[in-house]
Structure 1
């Protein structure tokens, strides 16, 4: 998803950087954004919208807080980012000092952080709900595809033998992986959880109206201005600037998963979404946007639906009250769930 970065209209990311005085300094490219991009917009109601953007979790995270007190909004945004950074130190499997990397290295973990156990338990619940389409144990497959070359048939057979969320045991602070060589990735759910926790932090600080955009995983609370919901545009998978949909959000979450996000080869035949049973990346659905009560759930459901494919995925979401989705297929067709929009 793309967030509306001003209070009045949907801006592109470049326009947002321009509003912060950053365009023209060579800062629009990924990886070149400074440590903090900051903007303040005064609203007609007397409130102020404070927006800060930081590189985090391999993407750009933008938080907007709307409040009558500028100082309170600034403090709330700062605390929300501190909470996100704390949680990154739990879920980042690419760092050697995190809880999940220790679990992957040893195959077991005692004294696991409560957040890791909670997210993993929710992952196992969603694995069951999706009949295995969402599986946090696909890390060996994702890592094998990351090189941009498809593994051989024998390599795929060996790797897929390590994928089975039913072999994961969570008992309070103790987590065990049932097969030697198993490894977990919570990339398809943890970013959403972290965005939810940032939203909870803002609310605890007294900022009822806010929006958290973690690289397209979005949590919207309250309104951006009296009578005006938050407005976001669904990312165009072709990057041509033609958004499949523009939606209004209030007190809900939205997340998009697509093959364009982390493609490992030029043709996008290998990407970060992996079908657990086959070890290959799905191709029928190139983008799935899901609305749900939490970003954590929307994030995981978007991944699951991409794995399921269009027909099965739409039927799956239609059976979940309060959840909706919009699919974009490889042919360019846009397929909404029953009550989308």
Structure 2
């Protein structure tokens, strides 16, 4: 059974292999889609009424937040610490300044406080009270973790089935086996040829997520795309695409972006330290790790 819907600026494809009632499977798929809706409502930087943007309107005061915002933000901060700020969820104002500021459905432009000096160290979470505290005005961007988090929540709704795939525009989790009882064969998009694949991987109870400079570019600024280094405010271009395979989609999502931002040597070293597999592609060749 397959169904598709649009959330988080991408087409979400869900496929379930089951011998059980199709009504039950369809209900489970609908619950999986609902997870994307909840995460988008919580984490969107492009909606003024999202939980994230409403929380960013307050600083120097603790703000209670839901698990749908707290958990991906906590993981993003952990990755920021691991990379010493090369990956930084406080980059929202810089993203806006470079033109990545429009809601994908309405076209509305999202404004936020100019906060070029803000870093992840200005974002504080209280685990006991589940509150967010901002030390200064800033805009949080969770684009590198929210989709993976939603994939994981959706996958949780489908875990009782023999096999399933939750695919959010190439960021996906493959559970169990396909209809033939084999591991899922997942194609990695070619970064240059839109309709081509550069690699196929077999997955079972694993996620793969890709960050690439080809996905969203700023046509007015040569070399600029939607992955921007927090310190230089420029887009690194040592990689053209980074795909990471991990036990969970949020982990794969975040570290695919982190590896891209870290560049050739430090990016590969991070994957080795984490014990994760990756398909890392330079503008001229691809390397398998």
Shorter-chain TM-score above 0.5: yes
Q: Which residue of 1 aligns with 2:67?
A: 114
Task: Indicate which of 190, 198, 215 corresponds to 2:154.
Answer: 198
Q: Does the 8 Å contact 1:76/1:207 carry over to 2? A: no
1:200 Cα deviation (Å)?
Answer: 0.3
Q: CA deviation digits over 1:118-142, x for unaligned, max 9?
A: 2111111111112222110111111
Whether 1:220 aligns to 2:174 is: yes
Larger radius of gyration: 1
1:173 Cα deviation (Å)?
Answer: 2.5
Whether 1:174 aligns to 2:128 is: no
Q: Which residue of 2 aligns with 1:252?
A: 206
Whether 1:56 aligns to 2:11 is: no
Whether 1:188 aligns to 2:140 is: no
Task: Indicate which of 188, 192, 213 corresponds to 1:238.
Answer: 192
The aligned length equals: 273
Q: Which residue of 1 aligns with 2:261?
A: 307
Q: Does the 8 Å contact 1:275/1:281 carry over to 2? A: yes
Whether 1:292 aligns to 2:249 is: no
Whether 1:67 aligns to 2:18 is: yes
Whether 1:165 aligns to 2:120 is: yes
Task: Indicate which of 37, 44, 52 corresponds to 1:92.
Answer: 44
CA distance, structure 2, for counterparts of residue 328 and residue 267 of structure 1: 22
Give ranges in structure 2 of 5+ residues lacking alignment.
102-113
Are residues 267 and 335 of structure 1, via their aligned partners in 2, closer, same or farther at CA, if it must alter by over 3 Å?
farther
CA distance, structure 2, for counterparts of residue 240 and residue 200 of structure 1: 31
Q: Does the 8 Å contact 2:239/2:280 carry over to 1? A: yes
Give ranges in structure 1 of 5+ residues lacking alignment.
1-49, 149-157
1:84 Cα deviation (Å)?
Answer: 1.8
Q: Which residue of 2 aligns with 1:138?
A: 91
CA distance, structure 1, for counterparts of residue 185 and residue 222 of structure 2: 29
Q: Which aligned runs of 4 or more in structure 1 are off by greater than 3 angstroms?
A: none
CA distance, structure 2, for counterparts of residue 240 and residue 94 of structure 1: 26
CA distance, structure 2, for counterparts of residue 54 and residue 207 of structure 1: 20
CA distance, structure 2, for counterparts of residue 118 and residue 95 of structure 1: 19
Q: Does the 8 Å contact 1:211/1:220 carry over to 2? A: yes
Q: Which residue of 2 aligns with 1:27?
A: none
Q: Which residue of 2 aligns with 1:77?
A: 29
CA distance, structure 1, for counterparts of residue 223 and residue 115 of structure 2: 18
> Secondary structure, in 3 states, of the residue corresponding to 2:215?
coil
Q: Does the 8 Å contact 1:260/1:268 carry over to 2? A: no
Q: Does the 8 Å contact 1:275/1:282 carry over to 2? A: yes
**RMSD (Å) for aligned C-alpha atoms:** 1.8
Q: Normalising to structure 2: TM-score of the pair? A: 0.89
Q: Does the 8 Å contact 2:115/2:139 carry over to 1? A: no
CA distance, structure 2, for counterparts of residue 268 and residue 317 of structure 1: 29
CA distance, structure 2, for counterparts of residue 51 and residue 221 of structure 1: 15
1:311 Cα deviation (Å)?
Answer: 1.5
Q: Normalising to structure 1: TM-score of the pair? A: 0.76
Q: Which residue of 2 aligns with 1:38?
A: none
> Secondary structure, in 3 states, of the residue corresponding to 2:197?
coil
> Secondary structure, in 3 states, of the residue corresponding to 2:274?
coil
Are residues 208 and 328 of structure 1, via their aligned partners in 2, closer, same or farther at CA, if it must alter by over 3 Å?
same
CA distance, structure 1, for counterparts of residue 84 and residue 217 of structure 2: 25
